[in-house]
Structure 1
């Protein structure tokens, strides 16, 4: 690797073509002379990427479908965490949360609290987003965007009105022709 034209520290371990990148990064980390570089590289390497991303979506095939394609990231993360927990324990949800007596057995209070707070947080977030969207709409003077279904319905209604207007115009013209013929 040529360093001409670059400002490279002579203390930085050299990297030669064909060398394993992980081995070179280990040398840089172990030297402890480049703490900022080490932090940046560790952060970059910890990003969830590559085939694992695709695999997570494949695992989530039963969660993400055409109807839920706009699922919020926290919701997706919650589903992914639950699914990972179930798969890693090689257990079903009924096995994990089983009670001896389903009707009167003791509930997992932490689980119930998590469910309650997650639902409340989600409802609060959705309400905040709705209010924010209404405020922006009012501020900029625009109306809420229509869904594809609303747009289709409006187009069909406009087409129906245009047909009815055209039919009324044709009837009027035909009536005028009939009246003109009777006068002759």
Structure 2
């Protein structure tokens, strides 16, 4: 039989968890958060990149594609990891550079495709509730690269970058990044910013 004290503790814990404010994605990192990001990066030096970036990545499957959001925290953690892997110090100018793009959301997107070239061009979009924002910056390769599956389908892979202004986006929002595959099909990546650092 479960004691009354255990039930009371479990109830109190559940109440605290459910009533805790949603923090949301971290922006304008405090000195403590900067140190936390650097330590996360250093600790992840032996971790596969996919596992290291899992918190910030939405995957639609290895044969479809994935998108990674480079928040301030993730960007700084990545640079700290890179420095440790390269067996060198993380320089102050690298920290500054990692934190200077506070005004944009940057997505690195990998799209698997059977088309060597982008046949369709339309700006990618970011949906936040009822609002739809076009990308402020896009990079799509002129020509895709052979995938690890080549000569099987999907034959090619496209590594793309998209940036959107962060102004007016709540850091605990649910957002959808919509991009086009080279053959013109839309793919959607759903992110919950409240679960990201």
Which band: TM-score by shorter chain? under 0.3
Give the TM-score normalised by the residue count of structure 1.
Answer: 0.22
Higher helix share: 1
Q: Comparing both chains, which one has the higher relative contact order based on Cα–Cα distances under 8 Å and sequence gaps of 6 or more?
A: 2
Higher strand share: 2
| Structure with max Cα Rg | 1
